[in-house]
Structure 1
Amino acid sequence: MILVTGATGRFGSKAVEHLVKNGVHPSEISVLVRDSARAGRLKEQGVQVREGDYADHTSMVKAFQDVERLLLVSSNDRGAMENRTQHHKNAIRAAKEAGVKHLVYTSFVRKPGFEGSPISSFQNSHVESEQYLKESGMEYTILQNGIYAEMIPVFIGDKVAENGTIVFPAGEGKASWVLREELAEAAANVLTTDGHKGKTYTLTHTESVGFKTIAGEISAVLDRDIHYKSPEMGEFKTMLENAGVPQLYIGMFAMWAAALAAHSLDKNDEALTMLLGRKPTSVREFLKQIYS
């Protein structure tokens, strides 16, 4: 039995789809969800739906019974980072108690010296969770996922074609963007093949791309000039405030822009290519799909 957590989310649901594509019968797949009412489509597919919550250890021990391989999709709690770390530890402890044989954990990419990164608290949560998993004595695989390419349209907004300008304070920073779905596919491949125990994979692209290049690629698709402007952070925040963007999102945009500007996300690796058996989708291909 394979169990996927967070299966009503965008990553977990795609992982389930790829498990089925890999030949796993739906009856051999279980999912952990907080509200089974939201998992109707999964039930219709024949997937076993089990209720549980990262904050409720007992519920997870019950849900993880008879599970051999577990995909632990990292918590998306919007509270303090400590909440996420504790959620991961709760799940790892519950998995061990329930007798899970192999745990695959979705972590996040980092570079040497990340402690000074604008996203260091986010990365430290994963470092602590990885260490806890390694010390648990369980068989594990760690997937250090890169930043989602799907975040590019979120960062640049929906007025790019109208305004002809990308305004985002990432400077000359680049990122090794990867599709969420291809990361989910790689996770499914790890769950259904051997040779991954004790491995840590950096799942990024083999090239990094900055917003000046992104502007050029969108220009080519739209057949009009799109310019990239990187304002000062204070100016950027004021612009978002004047547009009525909630403070939660302003803080999120600022954090990731600062991380990009600090070159925290431009780590390249071949592991995703290896796990997919092909080159990951390029930023150029992704932007063509979005803006055509």
Structure 2
Amino acid sequence: MATSKPPVDYLITGATGGLGTAILSTLLKNGVPTSAIAVGSTREHLGSTYEARGLQFRHTNFESITSLMRAFQGVKKLFFVSTNTFDNEKRMQQHRNVVTAAEQAGVGRVYYSSLGIGGVDGQPHEVDLMVAHLETEKMLRQSQLVWTNIREGVYADAFPVFLNWYPKDPQQVLCLPCDGEVAFALRDELGEATAKLMMRDGFEKQNVLLTGPRAIKLSALASVINQASSRAVRMEFVSDEEYVKRSAQRDIGRKNEEFFRNWATLLHSFEAGKAATVSPLMGQLLGRQPRDGEQAVRLLLQRDRDYTWHQNYIKKGEKGASKGSITEFMKMGCCFV
């Protein structure tokens, strides 16, 4: 029988990802002792790395309620990041396992990392990427847990995949089916704000929305790319079918028509204003004005003129890669949360 581990104030799942890393870093910078933090991961071999830093490690197998109950023992606050399978039915079952295990293990508080499409309480079921998030929010509402659903803003860091921009061509024509405003936020700032939210009381059984301070049109980012990196890219708007066909034919990242057909539905949700809602909460938590989308993209390109985002590439660097679907994209982890 496995030896029970000492209780902890925080368990961070997905701590190896960008958002989880920022949350963990913020907790430590704000004086939370390493002994009060546990890191959860599906990859058991990472345990010794975290334990060498004085952190606890909990193996989180989302297929097993028993395994999750063991991981959740003695946890006051659980940060629960969405799993990265694109199979919505499978993902919802994994999330159901988390909610059930958290209830049975007596977790004090659950913070779920949802997605900021639809504002703070909207129900945009037509956006496929939101289906599992909305169902998980519902699971938590119907549970006996104390929860907070954190609708994280769309990552400014992922701008290359929204525009399908690559640094290789300085005069690239960015082909999109529509324009739309997005209240982009930097991932590191989202992680910092999320950690600070977890460190304070309040927001029990509520949805909260974390966003940048203003919504930015996708088309405005082309000008930022040009100004910040001395390029001459331009944007062209075409029909959905033309977008799908042309993008798949020219895509350096080897994404296929299935990907772009699904991606067009997300872009149209931006056109409908589903990601344009601005909330002041992120700035309140940070104690400063967060960067907006234009500032964030400029910063990223100043740091690296040839900035890339890993999810703009399917099987990056692999010659002859034939896969390029939205499913393969999601296996790398959703680019928003």
Query: In structure 2, the residue corresponding to 1:46 is in which secondary structure?
Result: coil
Cα distance, 1:177–1:185 mapped onto 2, change above 3 Å: same
Aligned counterparts, 1:30-109, within 5 A: 30-79=38-87, 81-109=88-116
Cα distance, 1:224–1:63 mapped onto 2, change above 3 Å: closer
Cα distance, 1:233–1:246 mapped onto 2, change above 3 Å: same
User: When the two structures are superposed, what TM-score results if normalisation uses the length of structure 2?
Assistant: 0.78
Match for 1:213: what amino acid? A
Gaps of 5+ in 2: 1-7, 303-337
Q: Which residue of 1 aligns with 2:295?
A: 285
CA offsets 1:138-180 (integer angstroms, 9 cap, x no match): 1111111121111102233453573424524252311111112
Root-mean-square deviation over aligned CA pairs: 2.2
Matching residue within 12, 15, 24 for 1:4: 12
1:39 to partner: Cα distance: 4.8
> Using the alignment, how far apart are the partners of 1:60 and 1:105 within structure 2?
15
Match for 2:133: what amino acid? H
Matching residue within 249, 253, 256 for 2:263: 253
Kindly indicate whether residue 182 of structure 2 is the aligned counterpart of residue 175 of structure 1. yes
User: When the two structures are superposed, what TM-score results if normalisation uses the length of structure 1?
Assistant: 0.90
Query: In structure 2, the residue corresponding to 1:94 is in which secondary structure?
Result: helix
> Using the alignment, how far apart are the partners of 1:11 and 1:45 within structure 2?
19
CA offsets 1:30-85 (integer angstroms, 9 cap, x no match): 11111121355423322111112122111100000111111111122122x12222
Q: Which residue of 2 aligns with 1:270?
A: 280
Cα distance, 1:160–1:261 mapped onto 2, change above 3 Å: farther
| Greater helix content | 1
Match for 2:221: what amino acid? I
Match for 2:298: what amino acid? K
CA offsets 1:189-246 (integer angstroms, 9 cap, x no match): 1221222323321111231111221112222223454322122222222223323623
Match for 2:191: what amino acid? A
Query: In structure 1, the residue corresponding to 2:75 is in which secondary structure?
Result: coil
> Using the alignment, how far apart are the partners of 2:76 and 2:122 within structure 1?
36
Match for 2:82: what amino acid? S
Gaps of 5+ in 1: none
Query: Which is worse superposed, 165-174 or 50-59?
Result: 165-174
Q: Which residue of 2 aligns with 1:19?
A: 27
> Using the alignment, how far apart are the partners of 1:76 and 1:213 within structure 2?
30
Kindly indicate whether residue 245 of structure 2 is the aligned counterpart of residue 235 of structure 1. no
Query: In structure 2, the residue corresponding to 1:205 is in which secondary structure?
Result: coil
Query: Which is worse superposed, 37-46 or 147-156?
Result: 37-46
CA offsets 1:71-114 (integer angstroms, 9 cap, x no match): 111122122x1222222221111011111111111112214775
Aligned counterparts, 1:168-247, within 5 A: 168-243=175-250, 245-247=254-256
> Using the alignment, how far apart are the partners of 1:239 and 1:14 within structure 2?
37
Cα distance, 1:25–1:168 mapped onto 2, change above 3 Å: farther
Equivalent residues of 1:57, 1:91 under 8 A apart: yes
Equivalent residues of 1:156, 1:166 under 8 A apart: no
Q: How many residues align?
A: 289
Query: In structure 2, the residue corresponding to 1:55 is in which secondary structure?
Result: coil
Cα distance, 1:19–1:166 mapped onto 2, change above 3 Å: farther
Kindly indicate whether residue 142 of structure 2 is the aligned counterpart of residue 135 of structure 1. yes
Query: Which is worse superposed, 263-272 or 105-114?
Result: 105-114
Cα distance, 1:170–1:271 mapped onto 2, change above 3 Å: farther
1:131 to partner: Cα distance: 1.9
Equivalent residues of 1:167, 1:231 under 8 A apart: no
Cα distance, 1:113–1:20 mapped onto 2, change above 3 Å: closer
Kindly indicate whether residue 131 of structure 2 is the aligned counterpart of residue 124 of structure 1. yes
1:184 to partner: Cα distance: 1.3
Match for 1:136: what amino acid? S
